[in-house]
């Protein structure tokens, strides 16, 4: 592939990249000034819709389309919630943007709010991102001081306030209605939908929830135009009338057993192999990859050595666009966070880690998820202790298939995300799990059960 | 003499105009109190509720959802040291790092050293996977934490 010059990450390594002066020197806020002067809000919605931009937070819903779900001619208030609760394991692209180029995101917030007539944006940042929070705090203070936030921005009559809100270490706050509940000061229990947030969201008002990278893309789309955006990525599959395509640049993060874990920006559709071998410096310690998690734990696993049908290629060669991972049984592109697992690592340990995460983060509202994630953790713990039973693998797959919003047993998608790694790991690496049960070998990580004291 | 100082109450009140409803100030208020007092006592819960026109049970309900907050009878040390156990960190020595820190500090995750300096905890993925294994020192990432680097960090925190 020809060399790609980063756009979203163009500024992140510049000195002072997070400050307003630097951003303006690079042409920052010129787009918003032009848009406020020359374009009607409806024109901005239309352009973002036509650009083909799909949400970068995990579900890939078309951003402009989501904006059109707001009620027409609503008297307001309408809110934007910026989802910066980036908690999907192995994902860190939003953090890089917020820490090192917060103004690119804030300009996107201004453009989005102007487009759908929101006068207030709540920026929900996970607690663990302290440096990002402080970077945003400074950026927002600079904007108020420069008259770029507050009342009558640039004399346009457009008012906007941005409120930074800190999470408290709960994965479920990344689910959009969990985020809204948490913002409102309650337990982050996802809401039953409909109504969707666009109709009734934060504080019972129409609300759009957008991801950080999505908003940075809005900035670039309004600055560079739709032709530029559509020149990157993958057009819709002509055989699939429901495919909206995978246009634009994407931030991919590479983690796990690679020589150089890092965040890179590439046009949508790079293969896992190219990401790992070219951009991640290859698998560490001269080893080979065994499995890859292609987009955050919820997406499941790819078996690097599994041949694709009628082809010499393997699952390692699938493109990371909105359709690629789905073709090999994964849930989707997710957050495009690629984690590599080398051939010396036990999938039993990996799967236990995954189950441990979801059991810890299930919010407890829906019984199938609360109980299902808990039992999947207990069963995988049994497996790694060398006490697995023959039927355990089938029980795990059965539980994983039954919990979630897709089988219709839970309110939100956390349980689907908990199930996908379980069923993909067991279906794709069944031999390894069966061998582990047969040998009774104990994982090096399985400590002795703690003795319960008599007192 | 209440749990919150007048200054803390003023800073909580300053959040109120930023939100359409007072209840939305629950998390900011809990953070403010928790950061400074290293716990949110029952008395503090009642005082936060008064400031936000809520029942204490509403504040408590929200607070206890987030295992993050330490309530009555629990207290954080001067620094909270989280070691990440997410998959990216596990693959690069996160579990070994947790064990190393437990051994070094003589406490298990969730406990505070007897001198009250450090509360050790495990964290689910903290989004620092490009620097795995990673830790959080309160809310700041510490990347690429080798056992030696962990020892230095702990020595620093002991001096605080």
Q: B51: which strand partners?
A: none
d(CA A264, CA A244): 24
Mean pLDDT of A167-185: 97
User: Does residue A298 sit at the B interface (CB-CB below 8 Å)?
Assistant: no
Domain residue ranges of chain A, discontinuous segments joined by +: 20-231, 246-342, 347-439
CA distance A239 to chain B (A): 37
The size of the A-B interface in CB pairs under 8 A is 146
The architecture in CATH of the region A20-231 reads: 3-Layer(aba) Sandwich (3.40)
CB spacing of A256 vs B129 below 8 angstroms: yes
Same domain, B31 and B59: yes
Long-range contacts at A34-39 (CB < 8 A, ≥ 24 apart): A35/A111, A35/A114, A35/A222, A36/A114, A36/A153, A36/A154, A36/A156, A36/A158, A37/A154, A37/A156
User: Does residue B95 sit at the A interface (CB-CB below 8 Å)?
Assistant: yes
Residue A13's pLDDT is 95
% chain A with pLDDT above 90: 95
Output the CA angle A201-A204-A206, nearest 5 degrees.
50
| Residue B58 predicted with pLDDT over 70 | yes
- Asked if residues A34 and A47 have their Cβ atoms less than 8 Å apart, the reply is no
Q: B2: which strand partners?
A: none
Same domain, B43 and B20: yes
What does the DSSP assignment read for A123-190?
EEE-TT-HHHHHHHHHHHHHHHHTTSSBSSGGGSS--BEEEEEE--S-GGGGSHHHHHHHHTTS--PP
Q: Please report residues of A whose CB lies closer than 8 A to that of B85.
A: 353, 356
CA distance B86 to chain A (A): 6
For testing contact with chain B, the best of A13, A91, A128, A131 (most B CBs within 10 A)? A128
Residue B106 inside a domain? The answer is yes
Same domain, B53 and B10: yes
- Asked if residues A180 and A174 have their Cβ atoms less than 8 Å apart, the reply is no
For domain A246-342, which CATH number applies: 2.30.30.100, 3.40.1280.10, 3.10.20.600, 3.40.50.720? 3.10.20.600
- Tokens of residue B152, six digits: 């230095």
> In chain B, how many domains are there?
2
User: Does residue B19 sit at the A interface (CB-CB below 8 Å)?
Assistant: yes
Chain A residue whose CA is closest to B81: A128
d(CA A133, CA A129): 6
% chain B with pLDDT above 70: 99
Same domain, B25 and B96: no
Same domain, B59 and B86: no
Q: Which of residues 200-219 of A touch B (CB under 8 A)?
A: 203, 205
User: Does residue B70 sit at the A interface (CB-CB below 8 Å)?
Assistant: no
CB spacing of A293 vs B86 below 8 angstroms: no
Q: Please report residues of B whose CB lies closer than 8 A to that of A361.
A: 124
Residue B160's pLDDT is 87
ipTM: 0.97
| Residue A216 predicted with pLDDT over 60 | yes
Identify the CATH number of the domain in which residue B132 sits. 3.40.30.10
- Tokens of residue B153, six digits: 């960090």
User: Does residue B132 sit at the A interface (CB-CB below 8 Å)?
Assistant: yes
Q: What is the largest CA-CA distance in chain A?
A: 75
- Tokens of residue A334, six digits: 């997710």
Contact residues for B55 (Cβ-Cβ < 8 A; gap 6+) = B49
Mean pLDDT of A194-220: 98
% chain A with pLDDT above 70: 98
CATH dotted code for A347-439: 1.20.1440.230
d(CA A413, CA A362): 10
Contact residues for A86 (Cβ-Cβ < 8 A; gap 6+) = A92, A93, A94, A95, A126, A129, A174, A212, A335, B127
Q: What confidence tens digit (pLDDT) does each residue in A387-442 have?
A: 999 999 999 999 999 999 999 999 999 999 999 999 999 999 999 999 999 999 99
Residue A1's pLDDT is 53
């Amino acid at each position: 592939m020809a060399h790609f010059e980063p756009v979203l990450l163009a500024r992140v390594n510049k000195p002072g990249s997070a400050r307003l002066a630097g951003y303006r020197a690079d042409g920052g806020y010129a787009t918003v000034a032009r848009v406020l002067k020359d374009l009607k809000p409806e024109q901005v919605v239309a352009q973002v819709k036509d650009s083909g931009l799909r949400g970068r937070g995990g579900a890939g819903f078309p951003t402009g389309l989501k904006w059109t779900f707001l009620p027409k001619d609503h008297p307001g208030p309408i809110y934007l919630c910026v989802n910066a609760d980036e908690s999907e394991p192995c994902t860190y692209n939003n953090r890089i943007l917020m820490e090192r180029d917060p103004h690119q995101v804030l300009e996107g917030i201004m453009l989005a709010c102007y487009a759908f007539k929101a006068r207030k944006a709540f920026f929900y940042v996970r607690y663990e991102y302290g440096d990002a929070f402080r970077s945003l705090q400074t950026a927002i203070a600079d904007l108020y001081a420069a008259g770029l936030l507050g009342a009558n921005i640039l004399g346009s009559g457009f008012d906007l306030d941005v409120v930074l809100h800190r999470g408290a270490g709960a994965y479920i706050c990344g689910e959009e209605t969990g985020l809204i509940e948490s913002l409102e000061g309650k337990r982050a229990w996802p809401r039953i939908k409909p109504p969707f947030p666009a109709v009734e969201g934060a504080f019972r008002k129409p609300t759009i929830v957008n991801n950080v990278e999505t908003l940075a893309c809005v900035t670039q789309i309004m600055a560079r135009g739709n032709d530029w955006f559509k020149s990157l990525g993958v057009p819709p599959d002509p055989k699939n009338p429901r495919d909206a395509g995978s246009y634009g640049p994407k931030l991919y993060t590479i983690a796990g057993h690679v020589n150089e874990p890092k965040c890179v920006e590439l046009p949508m559709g790079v293969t896992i192999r190219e990401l790992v071998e070219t951009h991640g410096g290859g698998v560490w310690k001269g080893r080979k990859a065994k499995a890859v998690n292609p987009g955050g734990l919820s997406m499941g696993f790819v078996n690097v050595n599994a041949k694709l049908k009628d082809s010499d290629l393997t699952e390692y060669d699938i493109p990371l666009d909105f359709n690629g991972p789905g073709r090999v049984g994964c849930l989707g592109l997710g957050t495009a966070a690629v984690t590599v697992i080398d051939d010396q690592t036990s999938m039993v340990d990996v799967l236990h880690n995954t189950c441990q995460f979801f059991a810890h983060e299930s919010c407890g509202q829906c019984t199938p998820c609360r109980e299902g994630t808990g039992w999947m953790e207990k069963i995988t713990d049994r497996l790694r202790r060398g006490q697995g039973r023959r039927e355990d693998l089938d029980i795990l797959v059965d539980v994983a298939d039954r919990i979630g919003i897709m089988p219709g047993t839970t309110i939100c998608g956390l349980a689907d995300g908990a199930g996908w790694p379980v069923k993909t790991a067991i279906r794709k690496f069944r031999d390894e799990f069966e061998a582990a049960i047969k040998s009774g070998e104990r994982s090096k990580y399985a400590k002795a059960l703690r003795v319960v004291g008599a007192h | 003499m209440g749990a919150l100082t007048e200054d803390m109450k003023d800073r909580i009140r300053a959040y109120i105009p930023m939100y359409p409803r007072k209840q939305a100030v629950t998390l900011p208020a809990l953070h403010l109190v928790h950061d400074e007092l290293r716990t949110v006592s029952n008395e503090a819960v009642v005082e936060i509720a008064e400031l936000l026109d809520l029942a204490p049970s509403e504040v408590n309900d929200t607070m206890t959802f987030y295992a993050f907050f330490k309530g009555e009878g629990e207290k954080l040390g001067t620094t909270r040291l989280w070691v990440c156990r997410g998959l990216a960190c596990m693959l690069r020595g996160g579990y070994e790092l947790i064990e190393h820190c437990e051994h070094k500090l003589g406490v298990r995750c969730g406990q505070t050293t007897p001198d009250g300096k450090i509360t050790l905890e495990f964290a689910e993925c903290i989004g620092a996977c490009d620097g795995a294994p990673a830790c959080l020192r309160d809310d700041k990432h510490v990347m690429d934490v080798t056992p030696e680097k962990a020892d230095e960090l702990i020595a620093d925190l002991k001096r605080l």
